[in-house]
Amino acid sequence: MSLNLEQYVSEFSAQNINGEHLLQLDGSKLKALGMTSSQDRAIIKRKLKEMKASLEKARKAQEKMEKQREKLRRKEQEQLQRRSKKTDKCSSEATEGTNEQ
């Protein structure tokens, strides 16, 4: 509707075209849905291309965030392991010092 193509809403609804299905449409499928105007198909295809690019950008950003989180988790885990080893070493040295006395 925001593209002034509301005349196709009823057919898209009747065919259960949702967002996921919409992204899979190409020119021939749009034509089969009753979109006879090549201009209208071009508008939809251009908008779909923009949407796909936006989704891909969001997906890449999400992957980047996940990688950063994983890197932080590993770094924290390494720090905990180092602290644990340091604590163990100090404990064993203290025990050895007590045994010597």
> Could you tell me if 35 and 8 are in contact, meaning their C-beta atoms sit under 8 angstroms apart?
yes
CA distance 30 to 21: 11
> Could you tell me if 3 and 43 are in contact, meaning their C-beta atoms sit under 8 angstroms apart?
yes
Q: Compute the chain's Rg from CA coordinates.
A: 30
Looking at residue 62, what is its pLDDT? 96
pLDDT digits (tens, 9 = 90+) for 57-96: 999 999 999 999 999 999 999 998 888 887 777 776 666 6
Domains of the chain: 6-84 (1.10.150)
> What is the average pLDDT score of the chain?
87
Looking at residue 43, what is its pLDDT? 94
Instruction: Decide if pLDDT at 98 tops 60.
Output: no
> Could you tell me if 74 and 36 are in contact, meaning their C-beta atoms sit under 8 angstroms apart?
no
Looking at residue 83, what is its pLDDT? 84
Instruction: Decide if pLDDT at 22 tops 90.
Output: no
